[in-house]
Amino acid sequence: MRKIFQIPTQIKTWMLRFPIMQKIFRLCARIKIRILRFLDQFSAIDMTTGRPWHKLLLFALPLLVGNVFQQLYSTMDAIFLGRFVGDHALAAVGSTIAIFFLIMVLMMGISMGAGVMVAQYFGAKRREDLSYTIGNCITLTAILGGFLMVVGPFLTRPLLVFLDTPPEIIDYSVTYINVLMLGVLGMSYFNMLSGILRGVGDALSPLLYLVFSSLLSIGLNYLFVGVIGWGVMGAAVSTVMAQTLSALLCLRKLMQMRNLFEIKLSFLRPKRQYVNQVMKLGLPTGLSQAVFSIAMMVIQPLANSFGYLFLATNIIVMKVDGFVMMPNFSFGNAMTVYAGQNMGAGKVDRVSKGTKQCVYLALGTAVVMVGVILSFGHNIAGLFTQTEEVLYTAVRFLRILAVGYLAFSINMVLWGTIRGAGDAITPMYASLLNTALVRVPLAYLLVYLMGRPEALIYSLLISWVSISGMSVIAYKIGRWKTKGLVKDNIVQGDGGENDDNEEYIDE
């Protein structure tokens, strides 16, 4: 990080010959020190010491800013497609989300499992275990990502046909998702490597790379969609190029962190102990995501039955929903790393203290976001389309979902704690039960009774409240307290409330 502030010695010596430049350099030196002190707060944070809420906030803020930019370029995709191509292109992108999500769930699960292992071994200060975990995850990503690149494009059209995708948009849908599949390896590495960086407490570097990726994607999107006229293919190409370049930056950063772990050939060779562990932690999470994605696919024919205007409305709601959910996901991810590091260090009491404080942070933020939706929903939805019917329906749907964001803020923090502690099974069972008994049956029942698209939104709201209740029950039962990977460290204490010595690991 400090290298970006350095000036070559010969140039600096020449400039210092002038008195005015000497004053400027002294001023810049003071500014540099303050900037570096500020940035150091976010670099490789050791969450096993200091005030829990402070460490969580320091870690969550870069995640939140990163999520804003990630959602921003995703939203700009939709805006460019809606304005330059039309509602049919917007609907086409919306119709592919469930399928692409289903194909990617295994990679998402492994990324989550890797993050938990990295956090716990980092908290336990086990350098060799940390190195093997990172190396094995890099290899697994190459194998599975390459497999998806080859197989994925052959599955997309049959799945879209199976889901009764409207004929007027299916060709757009196939083009969009096939381009994403051809670039899936770079996208997978970006998610995996940025997750590893966060696992060791570095939320700043992934943020900088994500900002770069987002701005690059927006620029390429405008070029490919608005200027060249590539349509949905241009939107997909811009996403793949931006995330692949960001993955290379993440890898470069990891290679520079030799003080924490090593990346060399011996650690890249798959080792059963670490592969099994990452699968044990990652597959339940992947299965949970797969169930969620399958539920989306099962419900997709209901959405398709209301026509492409409803699909366009739905993609607008999902884009806005992505912004509102960002704080929830940020606090949830922060809690996963926090719980992982402290479970690795044996500080179970500190995990409980941090969870309580993080719930307050997440719930307060959710209240603010809901207020924004209720006050400015019409203005926000108007960025995507000028079609009055689509605009009016999108605003109505957002107001229905508003209260659900409060419940979901608690849900994300508690599941983040449970997963970070090493319990991936309980969230999986909760997801299965909620999907099989609440989300899908309720969607079909309400559509049958109401006959209107609002039924799908009400079923989503009820499922959010349901899964949030399950997270509270699971957290209170406390099985997660016995799931740490490192069993030889057990530390009892006050949870860090009185520990004001905040230790940071420098880059």
The structure tokens listed for 177 are 């998702």
Contact yes or no for 250/205 (Cβ under 8 A)? yes
> 359-372: per-residue pLDDT in tens?
999 999 999 988 98
501 in a structural domain: no
For 103, the domain range is 60-482
Mean local confidence (pLDDT), 392-403: 86
pLDDT of residue 4: 45
The structural domain count of the chain equals: 2
Lowest-confidence region among 208-212, 244-248, 384-388: 384-388
Residues 121 and 174 in one domain: yes
Residues 366 and 430 in one domain: yes
Residues 26 and 72 in one domain: no
Q: Helix H segments across 258-347?
A: 265-268, 272-305, 308-344
pLDDT of residue 492: 45
498 in a structural domain: no
Residues 318 and 393 in one domain: yes
3-state secondary structure 415-450: HHHHHHCCCCHHHHHHHHHHHHHHHHHHHHHHHHHH
pLDDT of residue 499: 47
153 in a structural domain: yes
Confidence of residue 17 (pLDDT cuts 50, 70, 90): low
Is residue 494 predicted with pLDDT exceeding 70?
Answer: no
Residues 16 and 80 in one domain: no
Residues 3 and 124 in one domain: no
Four-CA torsion 358, 359, 365, 366, nearest 10 degrees: 150
Q: Which residues contact 132 (CB under 8 A, 6 or more apart)?
A: 267, 271, 273, 274
- Of residues 493 and 445, more confidence is placed in 445
Consecutive H or E run containing 88: helix 87-123
pLDDT of residue 486: 64
Is residue 413 predicted with pLDDT exceeding 60?
Answer: yes
Mean local confidence (pLDDT), 256-285: 86
Other CB atoms within a 10 A radius of the CB of residue 372 amount to: 14
Task: Tell which phi-psi region holds residue 506, choosing left (phi > 0), alpha (psi between -120 and 50) or beta.
Answer: beta
Greatest mean pLDDT among 46-50, 125-129, 132-136, 376-380: 132-136
Residues 163 and 14 in one domain: no
Site of tokens 């924490």: 260
Is residue 49 predicted with pLDDT exceeding 80?
Answer: yes
147 in a structural domain: yes
Q: How far apart are CA 132 and CA 269, in angstroms?
A: 9
CA angle 474, 475, 478 (to 5 degrees): 90
> 108-150: per-residue pLDDT in tens?
888 888 888 888 888 888 888 889 999 999 999 999 888 988 8
Task: Give the side-chain half-sphere CA count within 13 A for 238.
Answer: 30
Residues 135 and 10 in one domain: no
Q: How far apart are CA 91 and CA 314, in angstroms?
A: 8
Contact yes or no for 193/247 (Cβ under 8 A)? yes
Amino acid letter for position 53: W
Residues 339 and 453 in one domain: yes
487 in a structural domain: no
pLDDT of residue 191: 86
294 in a structural domain: yes
157 in a structural domain: yes
Contact yes or no for 400/454 (Cβ under 8 A)? yes
Contact yes or no for 190/198 (Cβ under 8 A)? no
Q: How far apart are CA 14 and CA 47, in angstroms?
A: 44
Q: How far apart are CA 266 and CA 241, in angstroms?
A: 30
Question: Which residues does residue 115 pair with via DSSP β-bridges, in sequence order?
Answer: none
The structure tokens listed for 256 are 């520079």
Residues 150 and 7 in one domain: no
49 in a structural domain: no
Amino acid letter for position 15: M
Residues 92 and 193 in one domain: yes
Concatenated DSSP letters for 60-72?
HHHHHHHHHHHHH
Task: Tell which phi-psi region holds residue 365, choosing left (phi > 0), alpha (psi between -120 and 50) or beta.
Answer: alpha
Confidence of residue 356 (pLDDT cuts 50, 70, 90): very high
Other CB atoms within a 10 A radius of the CB of residue 167 amount to: 8
Residues 34 and 106 in one domain: no
- The reported pTM is 0.72
pLDDT of residue 405: 92
Mean local confidence (pLDDT), 150-174: 86
